[in-house]
Amino acid sequence: MEDERSLLGSRLDVALPARIADCEVFIQVVTETSANSAWVAREFEWATSDHAGHTRPPVVLPVAVDGARVPDRVASWVYLSVNTPIDLASLEVIRAVAMRAVVPLPLDPDAPYQLAERELVEYCGSNLEEQRRVVLDSGGLVPNLVRETARFVAGLTESHGDKVLAALTQQVRSHQRLKRYLSILDALIPDVARRVQPLAQTHWDLKDWLTEMVRIMQRIVKLTLGRIVLDLIEQWGISLEGSLAPSTRDRCTAAVAKTKELQEIMKNHGGAGQFFWALDASPGQRWLDLGFDADHVDGVHVRLPADHFDEIGILALRSGDRPAHEVTGADWLTIGLPQVIARIVPTAVSDVPGVLERVGWSITDYDRSGPH
């Protein structure tokens, strides 16, 4: 957290506009003193207008305290009047307004291995050029599940000492992995959505493109966060009985059973039941393990359903032919691309935009293919 010392040696009329432009929410506190401050007036002007290459924060909220006189420059905005100490209702209003600066994408409380459908549809159909930050699992559902399992493990009797310690260590690692995944997905999802939206609009007609885009984004989430949730349910289901609704628990248990079925049936494809579950694979379905490569993008390994190709197409894909001759743009977007993005998540610690520049967003980005 920064304080006034971070501005030492800087020109305020240069540093402050840049800091304000970096804000997602600018709250102008109006008191009798600040109402007469020339610097406060300049800060409000910087926050409410585009200037010198800086854009204004997405949300500007003036808050008048204890009946302070509101200057004309602020009075033209809808502002909140509060008294000190600030009551909980006023704080909730401030929180709700501030949240407009970001896009909350909660997980589905009935199926916590995927995003809530209504919010995801609304986001995918919106103007994604606004570049608002995304907050995945905005309700904190998965961290709550991890905490519930940790509490359960910690509450076991001392007679299970070594096992308890090992289980707690495992939970700490799960929580760390979860936090890393969430932060990376928060950064990835807006860029991915901005790139996928025009591609979806190109490959599908007006009535279908949004449905298909939502399916792509859900598969990315199920291939990453969804697999963590299923691990929790499978290993610690008994500890979650009090925190999950019966219908939710039934859905999660059914999903775990599905992954186990696919794990057993897909042995020829290296198992990976959760992987095939996330891609809606059918039991017994044959899949191709393929590598795609090009000089200007990173090479990738993906699996594609064999029943989407005839025998000549399969031979062509394995012999190095240009993959766009056989793989449709729609198949790449709905099946191939989610795998590529999901494999980025465990490793994309920094420079997310740079990583995404090396992704083949369309099958035409790849020059050659072959068996992996």
CA angle (271, 277, 283) in 5-degree steps: 70
Peptide bond into 85 cis (omega under 30): yes
Give me the pLDDT at residue 333, please.
97
pLDDT single digits (tens) 46-92? 999 876 666 788 899 999 999 999 999 899 999 999 999 999 999 99
Spatial neighbors of 112 by CB under 8 A, at least 6 apart, are 141, 142, 145, 229, 248, 252
pLDDT single digits (tens) 15-37? 888 888 888 899 999 999 999 99
Within the chain, which residues score under 70 in pLDDT?
A: 1-7, 51-54, 156-165, 167-168, 267-271, 348-350
pTM for the model stands at: 0.83
Residue 299 DSSP one-character state: -
How many helices and strands, by DSSP H and E, does the chain display?
15, 10
